[in-house]
């Protein structure tokens, strides 16, 4: 299967899962879940579904437990709405991308100090007329 088709299927699965969770979910553990991405295998047998919870309302581990218990329901619903031969088995994975980005940003701030603006201190316009 082409890379482009896999990307379209990933996007479609992400959108449909998000819609199902928003409109049909009755489990309070999955109400604050955001689907951040889906990566399927080329044979569409398996998919990693990346999730995070909004605002830390619920620990992501509890949300994943809720999603795992709803997998059968989600696959049935996806099978009814999507025109795919096979709906992949899903593995729900916590998405820690934002935490990693914050950590990297903190490390950069620490390493670069106040000079993070990208403009060397001797070229910054501090309002003085020195050098004119």
For the chain, the domains span 3-115
pLDDT in tens, 81-97: 998 888 999 999 998 77
* pTM recorded for the entire structure: 0.73
Helices (H), the chain: 3-23, 60-69, 71-81, 97-112
The more confidently predicted of residues 74 and 102 is 74
pLDDT in tens, 16-27: 999 999 999 888
Sequence-distant (6+) residues with CB within 8 A of 93 are 48, 49, 50, 51, 64
Q: Which residue is associated with the tokens 């950590």?
A: 103
Enter the tokens of residue 33: 């879940």
Fold of the CATH domain 3-115:
GMP Synthetase; Chain A, domain 3 (3.30.300)
């Amino acid at each position: 299967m082409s890379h482009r088709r896999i990307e379209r299927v990933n996007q479609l699965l992400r959108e449909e899962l998000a819609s199902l969770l928003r409109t049909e979910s009755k489990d309070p553990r999955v109400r604050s879940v955001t689907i951040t991405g889906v990566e399927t295998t080329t044979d569409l047998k398996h998919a990693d579904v990346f999730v995070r919870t909004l605002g830390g309302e619920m620990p992501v581990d509890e949300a994943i437990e809720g999603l795992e218990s709803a997998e059968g329901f989600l696959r049935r619903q996806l099978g009814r709405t999507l025109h795919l031969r096979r709906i992949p088995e899903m593995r729900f994975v916590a998405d820690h991308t934002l935490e990693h980005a914050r950590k990297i940003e903190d490390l950069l701030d620490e390493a670069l100090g106040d000079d993070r603006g990208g403009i060397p201190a001797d070229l910054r316009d501090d309002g003085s007329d020195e050098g004119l």
